[in-house]
Amino acid sequence: WYHETQSSTAENDVLPLVPEAAKVSDPFLLDVILDEETLAPFLSWLVPARVLAVELFPDQLTVTRSQTFNAYER
């Protein structure tokens, strides 16, 4: 995928990435607006998944010599 997108000689210009797209308020639904009735059947796994995601993928992370996990590697 990387090679194809980086070495493509397509006539159309490739649009730049939009960093703002990563800053959605709901990463699981990508800010799709759904009413509560539609979401209700999925709340049993959606709520715990959101809590777990905050623990596993914090917005800020201190990188040390022994822990080199950074935001890019997530």
The verdict on residue 52 lying in a domain is: yes
Residue 64 lies in a domain: yes
Is 7 contained in some domain? no
In a domain, residue 28? The reply is: yes
| 65: Cα within 13 Å, side-chain hemisphere | 0
**What tokens were used for 20?**
């703002």
Whether residue 47 lies inside any domain: the answer is yes
| Global pTM exceeds 0.75 | no
pLDDT of residue 16: 64
Q: Can you tell me the distance from the alpha carbon of 12 to that of 62, in angstroms, rounded to the nearest whole number?
A: 40
Reported as a single tens digit per residue, the pLDDT across 11-48 is 666 666 667 666 777 777 777 888 889 999 999 999 99
Q: Is residue 55 part of a domain?
A: yes
4: in domain: no
